[in-house]
Amino acid sequence: MRNWRWMLLLLALLLAWLQYRFWFGPGNSGEVMALEAQVASQQRDNAGLQQRNDALAAEVKDLKEGQAAIEERARSELGMIKPGEKFYRVVEDAPVAPARAPVAPVDPDAPHQEVP
């Protein structure tokens, strides 16, 4: 009977030590959750960067292979036109500021003069 008590005490101590290591030791559950959150965040960033890389690769391919992409870029970024084309610039009217009422001069010597 005495051996069982020592064995039970030893198992309880082992359980307490393992629980301590799980909650407070190196690589504890809090650190694991923080690392999992960092991994998820990095995966989202990587997915966004992969989409950007794919778009840039497609644009490079278009510029290497097709004349349409080069023509579009020359028209939009450089303002170029083909020979024989007519260029029309549409200019919208600038918004007119509402007229303000004239402000009366303020007499500094007057005790109670209201400013409109």
Per-residue pLDDT of the chain in tens (116 residues, 90 and over written 9) = 678 888 899 999 999 988 888 778 777 778 888 899 999 999 999 999 999 999 999 988 887 887 887 788 788 888 888 888 887 878 888 887 777 766 666 666 656 555 55
- CA-to-CA distance for 14 and 8, rounded, in angstroms? 10
Contacts of residue 116, Cβ cutoff 8 Å, sequence gap at least 6: 101, 103, 104
Q: pTM of this prediction? A: 0.43
